[in-house]
Structures are given as structure tokens and as C-alpha cells.
Structure 1
Amino acid sequence: MFLLYPRWSVLYGLLCVLVAYPAYAQINESVGAAAANRREDVLQMQRLLNAVPDLSGGPKQRLDEDGKVGPQTLAAIKRFQRMQLGFEDGRVDPQGKTELRLMRLAGKHVLLGGADTEVEKQMAELTSAFASIAVSVDGKTVFVRPPYHINAGRRKANAEANRKANPAIRKLLYNAPGSVEVANGKATPDQMRHVLQAAIDADLVSPLTPQGIRDFLATYGISTDCSGLAARACNQLYPDAPLDVVNKANTAYLAKLPSVASPADLKAGHMMVKGGSHVRLLTDVDVTPEGIEFTTLESTASKLFPNGDGIGERRWRFPDPERFDQLQEMKGNRFVEASSYDQAYIYTSRK
């Protein structure tokens, strides 16, 4: 493989020297709920969890690194998943989403170029912010993964009808910070949190469960669409040249940005775009012996994630670092050939 792709060979060899690829430890079997829970694997997960800061989803109290899955370790896995990935099944699978995110945040992942490390940290923070909105309910913190909303078609009509039918909620929405963005499906996590908390405090949300609160967001169209999510990331990375999130940030515009030449050139902050249809944000890119792997964050109407549509992550791989060809997607614990729809995406960069 390395002889066929000399550029890849040099890049990979350099990374092995600089970041010590053999230290890229991983579990051999699953850890957590209904898992194999081999002592060595559990110990690895406990160490990784302890290396993640509390505000990024690490345990509030340091775990005992004893190689045993007790209530604290299981709760720590679920907390990390909830804050970082938008679900909480309590299980970590080898090379699954939870392990990959843990290793990246704990500084154990092989990154594509040292200069991208800070960008990937910013993307991890953005992912955490969008994937899990924290609100207070009766003195307890409840985390909610936002649903999908686009201010067009049936979703727009339904949201506007529901707002009109409830004057108290309509007033709350249009008096909120960034009301134009909130009303147009381009809300930031802080804007969503503000509206939600105000509605909860005014007894406008029922039932006060994660799903009930999520249904409230969907009913009144309080979330962000795919281009709104990508534009927020662009504006965070390039504050000197901000995009007009409401009027200009759409998939057609994002598809016209400069193209990325090859998988080997992919970086966090780049976009995976299908013009006029959908956009995904690359949040991290990794070099592995099997190819270029990357994670995307998206807001989608498709029910791809554990609790339906909305904001979530997917993992991809190009076997050949020189060609955007034979894209693979992680399904369960292994990569399989991506759909023809996903193969047709292009890759663009804000700069």
C-alpha cells in the first residue's frame, strides 16, 4: 500500500515518529453495559475517562482505576456519551464512536498534522455544545439532544402554526436573544438553552423529561439545520470573515467553496457537501493503517441516531488517501461500503 501511494507513506511514517502510533491503544472487547468487561479493557476505559475534563464529559469524581465495571464507571460512560455523542447506552465497543471520541479528547488519537490539534479541540467543544443542551428542571440538570428543524416546507408551516396557536410561546420566541436566528432554524446552543429554560420556568413545557423537552423543540421549530450548524463552525474558526448565518449560509453556497484536493488533505473544519441538499462538518481527521478516517457532525431529518433525527455524528473512511473513492462508513463496529448517495458528496474548505 505504501509503495503505491508514496505521499501517504511519507506522511504516515512521519506521524509514526512524531506521535508514536503504537501508543494508540484500544480495547479488544466491549466495556460497560452487557459487555465482555475484560479487566485490561475496563482499566483502559477508566484511564481514558479520567483524562477527560469534567466540562467535556469526564467523570465528576475521579474513577478508581481498578479494572472493574461498577456503578461509578457505568455512570461515567453514560455521562460522557450523553454530553459528547447525544446518546447513552453505557457501552464502549472497540473502535466504536465512544472509544474514538474518548481517545481523541484524552489526547491518545493519531491526528492528521499537529497544526490541526487546536481546531479539533474547538470542533469537539462545538459538538458537545450542539449535541447536548443542558437545562435545569426542579434543581436537576437535564440534557437534551436537539431535533432537526429547517425553516422551509412542511416543518416551517407546522412550526409557524404551532407558534401562532400558543401566544405565550410565540412571545417568548420573538423576545429571545437572536430571535431571527431562532425563528429561522439557525439557533445556537445558547439560544436554544435560553428559550428552553424560559419556557420551562414559565410552565410551558410538558412533560419535563428529555423526550418531552425535545418534543417541545420540534413542535415549535427551535433548533438548527445542517447549513446553520456548518456556518456556526466556520464563524468560530474564521471570525474575521463571518458568514451571514440566516441569509447566506446554505448548502448551495457551501458547495461552491474551494474544493479539497484529496483525502490526505482533509482537516477538521472542512465540509462534506451535497449542493442544494445537505452538508456535514468534519470534526476530526485521523491517519490509520487502513486509510484516512474522519468524523462528521450533522443536523439531519433522517432518523439515523439513537433517538431519531437531529444532531449527531458519523464515522467515515477513505482507503486510498489520494482519491475520493470507495468511501466507507462505520456501521456498528466495522466499516462497510457507504451508500451511493454518500459517495456523491464533495469536500470543501472555508479557507
Structure 2
Amino acid sequence: MYIPTYEDMLAAHVRIAPHIRRTPVRTSEYLNELTGAELFFKCENFQEPGAFKVRGASNAVFGLDEDQAAKGVATHSSGNHASCLSYAAKRRGIPCNVVMPYTAPQAKKDTVRRYGGQITECEPSTSSREETFAKVQAATGGDFIHPYNDHRVIAGQGTCAKEFIEQTDGLDTVIAPIGGGGMISGTCLTLSNLAPETQVIAAEPEQADDAYRSFKAGHIIADDAPKTIADGLLVPLKDLTWHFVSDHVSDILTVSEAEIIESMKLSWKHLRIVMEASSSVSLAAILKNKDRFAGKRVGIIITGGNVDLDTLPWTT
């Protein structure tokens, strides 16, 4: 197992610069008053494919040598990694094959297809996803770029925290959602070197709390098919992301489905941005634990904004 280094993150930062956006940081006086904290929102939902995962995907795709690239890339994903990998592959002019659960939001499937990705659907479980992917990769020969348990992906995700610290002149805490742990791992990689005094906290749905239970138990506990509105957080930790979570994360906080939905609504109303359910767990966790964050400078990574507007959670 190769563990990415700070130098890998710095190299990724240079490699992906032509292919991603340096996303803005937003604030809200109302949300500051509501939480008692000074909140800074890093808007990765403003990336061209609508999610932070374009960072890791671009680092992996543009790091391939010509022989590898000629065979294309392949992955499995509930949506955002699939669309971001398709985007990066299109920019390099190589094929991209993705396995997605049939329950993935239509907005995310549409984005994958818009960027030229070829979709094979599977059942909404980790086991079905991995079994279906094995068949697809055998047929295509594409380089497997795992959604999160890949050193190239983690190094790419770590570039977000580098920008964030530079844009805010330092933070007491950074909080981000956790599913498989790619963004959290990249955040830990960067902050443990660039700003070791900054705490890293993860947020997770109560109905898909395997990372929380793993954190408390001291070893990976994997659920096969959890059910939550936060569709991007359905996957379990793996060995590489567990390394960062177990060594560097200060805590994992869980929130209910109702709290996630309320957080989405608040972000629409007061930040005036689209925040998908998987992103909303972070703000929900702060609202649920106000005393813990009161008086602190808190960075929140808005990981994605790919929302199906025809099926908003408070209208179904």
C-alpha cells in the first residue's frame, strides 16, 4: 500500500491546475449568528462537473503514461466520481467506463453521459458494484481509478485543503463529509503538514454510519447497502483511507435525515447555492453541535452540488 505524501499533493496541485477551478469561499452572517461560529464554505460544487472529485480524477488521468492512457480508465461510483472521471478523460481524449447503481440520481447519470462516459448499471450495494465492475474492467482493460482508495486520488483531493487554508488565512477546524474517505484523507494529508494545528472532523449520516462505528471500534466496519438521502456517502472506508482517518481525524459526527434536509434548505436560502445532501451533513453536524464549534473559525467543504431538481427531498 503506497501512502501519498505531501510532495505528491504538491505535484498534483501543479498537474491539475489547467483542468480545475480554484473554487471560491463563501460566508453567511446569518449562519454565523445561528451557529455562534465563523463559518467559511469552500464551494467545490462550483467545479465544472459539480464536485470536488474532479481534483483526484484529474490527477489520476493526467498522471497516466501514454500506453496506459490509450486503454482508457474505468471505475465504479454512485455519481460524482463517475462524472468527474468522465470529464477528465474527455479532456485527455481517452475512453471512460463507469459502473453506477441504478438508483443513482438521474442528474449524475446525465452528467456522466454528457462527458462521454459509458455507464453500466448495478444493484445499489457495495458487493454488486464491485462484482459488476470486475466484469467491465476485464472487458475494457481500462486503468482502474478507485473513487477514493487510490493514492493519486487522495493526493488530488488534498489540493482543496491547500487552497482553503490560503484563502482563509487559517482555520481552527475543517469539517467535511465522510463516505469512503477520499476527501477527508486528502484533507488530513494536507493539513497535517501545512496546518497541523487545524482539527479535521468528519460528518456522516446516522443511517450510513459505518465510518463513525469504525472510528469508535478502531477497525473498519463495512455496511453493504446502507440507505440514506446522502447518496454519495454509501461506500465504506478502505485500507488507505482508514490510515488517514485513524491517524488524523479528531472526531466523526452523525446527523439524521431530517437534519440533512434542513441543512440543504438553509444553504439554498442563506448561501444561495445548491448543496447536495451528501455535502449538507457537515453544516448539519455544526448545527447539531453548536457548543462544540462556538467561537471558532470553521471551514466547511461543500463537496458537491449535483442535485436532481425534479426530486428535491422536501417535495417528495
- What is the TM-score of this pair, normalised by structure 2? 0.29
Indicate the structure whose relative CO is greater, using CA pairs within 8 Å and at least 6 residues apart. Answer: 2
Greater C-alpha Rg: 1
- What is the TM-score of this pair, normalised by structure 1? 0.27
